[in-house]
Amino acid sequence: MTEVRSERLHAHAPEVSAARARRWGSFYFMEHMLRGMRAYLVTIVVTSVGNPLLYLFSMGVGLATIVDRSQSTHFEGIGYLAFAAPALLVSSAVMTCANEMMFPVMDGFKWRRVYYGPHVTPLVPGQLALGHVMAVSVRLLVQCTVFFLIMLAFGAALSPMAWLLVPVGVLAGMAFGTPLMAYAASIQKENFQFSMIQRFVIMPLFLFSGTFYPLETMPAAMQWIGWISPLWHGNQLGRLVSIGASEPAWLVVVHIAYLAVLVVLGIVLARRSYTKRMDA
Amino acid sequence: MAGVRAMRRRVISARDLVKTYGDFNAVDGISFDVPAGESFGLLGPNGAGKSTTMRMIGGVTQRTSGHLDIMGLDPEHQGPEVRAHLGVVPQQDNLDEELRVRDNLIVYGRYFGLPRAYLEQRADELLEFAQLEDKAKARVDSLSGGMKRRLTIARSLINEPKILLLDEPTTGLDPQARHVLWDRLFRLKEQGVTLVLTTHYMDEAEQLCDRLIVVDKGKIMAEGSPTALIREHSSREVLEVRFGADRNAAVVPRLDGVGERLEALPDRILVYTDDGEGSLEQIRNRGLHPVTSLVRRASLEDVFLRLTGRSLVD
C-alpha cells in the first residue's frame, strides 16, 4: 500500500460505544436490515409496483365494469374500483408485513443466525426486535406510497384525505405483523407453521375482512371474523380516508385503538421472546 | 515471567462461576484470572462448558452464581458496556450473506456507534489484515471456510478491542487455513491484544496460549502453561505402538515395566517414557513386533488423557 493517509482515525472509547448503542441500537439494526433488503431491491420494487397495477387493473377494468353496471347500493354509491382500492392497499401491506415477520425472523435466529452477529455487540435483543419492526415499517411506507400513487393514477382516490391511506396501511400491516413476529420468535423449529398461517389465517382474513364487499353483506354468523381481523379495521379506516365513507366516530376510535393496541402488544411480546431466546 | 504477569492489570476475573440448565451444571465452579496481554486458553472436549464460560464473559448468558469482572464491569448488569470492550469470534460463523464482504465490516461497526469515516478506513485496514483485500466486493457465500473465518475475526476487530474472545477459532478448517489464522492471531498478540480462546485442539492450545485451563464436565482439571502442564502430567516423550485392534489389550501385560506408564487405547498403546527409541528397543527385545510405532513429543492430549482418562477429540 503506497497510499498516504492524512490521518489514522481511532475508534472512540468503549464507554462511548455503549452509550450510543443504548440510545440508538434499534436504529443501527434497522440500518443493517435495510441494507440487507437492498439485495432484494428488484423483487421489492417489482412487487411494490406490479401488485397494485395488477390488482387495480383487474378490478378497475375487469370486475368493476360488471359490478358498476348493476348499480349496486352496497358500494357507498361510488365506483367499485374506488371502493376496493383502499382495501387492496391495506391488504397488500398486511401480507407483506406478515411475510417479513415470519421467515426473516426464523432466519435471524436459526437459519443464517443473522441476529447472533449483533448479539455480541453492545446491542441487546430487544433492540433487534424493535430494529426489525422499524426496518419493515420503512418498507411498508415505501410500498404503501407507491400503491397510493398508482391509485391516484387510476383515479381511485376520491377524498383529499386519501394520502392518509399510507399511514393506515403501515398501521394495519404492523397490527398483524408484530404479534406474528412474537410468535415466530417463540418457535424453535419451522414445521410448516408459516405456510399454515399463510393458508389458514392470512388468506381467510383477506377474503372475509370486507376487502371486496362490505362486511355487512356476509352472514351475521361470519361477521366476527371481520371484528377480530386487523385487516377489516384497516380496510374501514382506509375507506374512511380514501372515499370519505360514512363511519360513526366511536367506531373510528375502535378501529384505531384496536390496531394500535395490537402493534404495542406485539412489540412488547416480541421483545420479550427475543430476550428470552437469546439470553438463555 | 510470573512477576511480570502479577504486575499487569487483570482484565478478566472469574470466581466460582456456575451455570445451570435445569439440573445440569454446564459450568460448575470455575475460577480464573486473565492479565492484560495474555493469551489464555480453555482446553477441553465438546460439552466441557468452554463455550458457556465464554458466553458468560461476553455477557450474553447470565451466570447462575459466582462473580465475574470484565475490565471492572459486571456483564450481568453492564452488558452493553462489557461488550463494547470486547471482540467476539463465535463458534459458528454468522456473517450476513446478503451483504458484501466489506459491508459486513461496516454494518457491524455501526453497532458500536462508530462514525462512517472511521469505519471506511478501518474496514480497508482489516481487509488487508485478513488478506481479503481483493474480496472486498465479493459475496460472502463465495468465500471459502478459512476466508469466512478470517472475515469473522476482522469483523470482531472493528472496534479496536483490547480483549478478543475466540470460540473454537479453527474448528472445521484445513491445516493450511489454520496456520494462516494462527499467524494472524499471533500478530494480534504482539499488538498487545488479550486473547481468550477455547479449543479442543491440543496443537492450537500449544501454539497460541501462554497459559490455559483444562476443563472437563464444567470443572477445571489443571491450570498452567502448556509446557508446565506437559512436564507435570506427562513424560517427555510418548511411544505409540499398534499391534492390531484385537491384539492391543492382550499385549499390554507383556509390556509391564517399559517406560514410566502405559495407556491402552482401543486402537493403540501409549508408552510414556523419557526415551522413546530406547523403550521401543526394549519392546522388540521382548520378542514383540508392533505393526507400527511412532515416537513423539508429549502433548496436551496426553495431559488430558492423564487427567480425565478420556481423549479430547472423539
pLDDT at B136: 96
Which range has the worst mean pLDDT, A68-72, A113-117, B183-187?
A68-72
pLDDT at B314: 53
Which of A20, A35, A112 minimises the CB distance to B113? A20
How buried is residue A220: exposed, middle or buried, by Cβ count under 10 Å (0-12/13-18/19+)?
exposed
**Average of pLDDT values for B64-89?**
95
Helix or strand (DSSP H, E) at B145: helix B145-156
Query: In what order do the strands lie in the sheet containing B39-43?
Result: B86-89, B163-167, B194-199, B39-43, B211-216, B219-224
- The CA distance from A112 to A128, in Å, is 15
The proportion of chain B whose per-residue pLDDT surpasses 90, expressed as a percent, equals: 72
pLDDT at B2: 47
Helix or strand (DSSP H, E) at A255: helix A249-278
**Average of pLDDT values for A20-44?**
93
Q: Give B43→chain A minimum CA distance, Å.
A: 22
Q: In 3-state terms, what secondary structure has residue B273?
A: strand
Dihedral-angle region of residue A4 (phi above 0 means left; psi in -120 to 50 means alpha; beta otherwise): beta
- The strand pairing partners of A201, in sequence order, are none
Predicted confidence (pLDDT) at residue A3 exceeds the cutoff of 70: no
Predicted confidence (pLDDT) at residue A105 exceeds the cutoff of 50: yes
pLDDT at A165: 97
Residue B196 has φ and ψ, to the nearest 5°, of -120, 120
Domain architecture of chain B: domains with CATH = 2-225 (3.40.50.300), 235-297 (3.30.70)
pLDDT, one tens digit per residue, over B207-231 is: 899 999 999 999 999 999 999 999 9
pLDDT at B312: 64
A104 touches chain B (CB under 8 A): no
Give the domain ranges of chain A: 10-279
Q: In 3-state terms, what secondary structure has residue B20?
A: strand
Buried b (16+ CB within 10 A) or exposed e, A12-42: bebeebbbbbbebbbbbbbbbbebbbeeeee
- Provide the whole-model pTM: 0.89
Predicted confidence (pLDDT) at residue A6 exceeds the cutoff of 70: no
Q: Strands (DSSP E) along A67-219, which ranges?
A: none
pLDDT at B1: 46
- The three three-digit cell numbers of residue B24, written as one number: 445440569
The contacts of residue A66 (CB under 8 Å, 6+ apart) are: none
**Average of pLDDT values for A23-46?**
92
- The strand pairing partners of A126, in sequence order, are none
A126 touches chain B (CB under 8 A): no
**Average of pLDDT values for B59-82?**
94
pLDDT at A239: 95
Mean pLDDT of chain A, nearest integer: 91
pLDDT at B74: 95
pLDDT class of B35 with cuts at 50, 70, 90: very high
**N- to C-terminal Cα distance for chain B?**
35
A169 touches chain B (CB under 8 A): no
What does B274-305 look like in DSSP terms, one character per residue? S-HHHHHHHHHHTT---SEEEEEE--HHHHHH
pLDDT, one tens digit per residue, over A176-224 is: 999 999 999 999 888 889 999 999 999 888 888 988 888 888 888 888 8
pLDDT class of A72 with cuts at 50, 70, 90: low
A189 touches chain B (CB under 8 A): no
- Find cell 473465518 and name the residue: B149
Predicted confidence (pLDDT) at residue B150 exceeds the cutoff of 70: yes
Q: Residue A264, Cβ neighbours under 10 Å: how many?
A: 13
The contacts of residue B80 (CB under 8 Å, 6+ apart) are: A18, A21, A22, A25, A122, A123, A124
Question: What's the angle, vertex CA B23, arms to CA B56 and CA A186, rounded to 5?
Answer: 65
Which range has the worst mean pLDDT, A97-101, A265-269, B309-313?
B309-313
B99 touches chain A (CB under 8 A): yes
pLDDT class of A40 with cuts at 50, 70, 90: confident
Cβ <8 Å between B159 and A113:
no
Residue B41 has φ and ψ, to the nearest 5°, of -115, 150
Cβ <8 Å between A10 and B94:
no
- The strand pairing partners of B10, in sequence order, are B35
Cβ <8 Å between B79 and A121:
no
pLDDT at A245: 83
Q: Strands (DSSP E) along A21-82, which ranges?
A: none
**Average of pLDDT values for B26-39?**
96
pLDDT at B165: 97
- The CA distance from B211 to B222, in Å, is 11
- The CA distance from A216 to A76, in Å, is 13
How buried is residue A196: exposed, middle or buried, by Cβ count under 10 Å (0-12/13-18/19+)?
exposed
pLDDT at B7: 60
Buried b (16+ CB within 10 A) or exposed e, A61-77: eeebeebbeeeeeebbe
The better pLDDT of the pair B153, B245 is held by B153
Radius of gyration of chain A (CA): 21
Q: What value of ipTM does the predicted structure carry?
A: 0.88
- The CA distance from A213 to A227, in Å, is 15
Helix or strand (DSSP H, E) at B307: helix B300-308
- The CA distance from B220 to B43, in Å, is 10
Cβ <8 Å between A122 and B81:
yes
pLDDT class of A74 with cuts at 50, 70, 90: low
- The CA distance from B148 to B142, in Å, is 9
Of residues B106, B114, B86, B84, the one with CA closest to residue A18 = B84
pLDDT class of B90 with cuts at 50, 70, 90: very high
DSSP 8-state assignment for residue B194: E
Q: Give B130→chain A minimum CA distance, Å.
A: 15
Predicted confidence (pLDDT) at residue B194 exceeds the cutoff of 60: yes
pLDDT, one tens digit per residue, over B272-302 is: 999 999 999 999 999 999 999 999 999 888 8
* Overall size of chain B counted in residues: 314
Residue B190 has φ and ψ, to the nearest 5°, of -65, -30
**Average of pLDDT values for B129-149?**
94
- The CA distance from A24 to A161, in Å, is 34
- The CA distance from A240 to A245, in Å, is 5
pLDDT class of B246 with cuts at 50, 70, 90: confident
Cα–Cα separations (whole angstroms), residue B41 to A9, A195, B166, B222: 32, 46, 9, 12
Predicted confidence (pLDDT) at residue A78 exceeds the cutoff of 90: no
pLDDT at A1: 46
Residues of B in contact with A110 (CB under 8 A): none
B218 touches chain A (CB under 8 A): no
Cβ <8 Å between A117 and B94:
yes
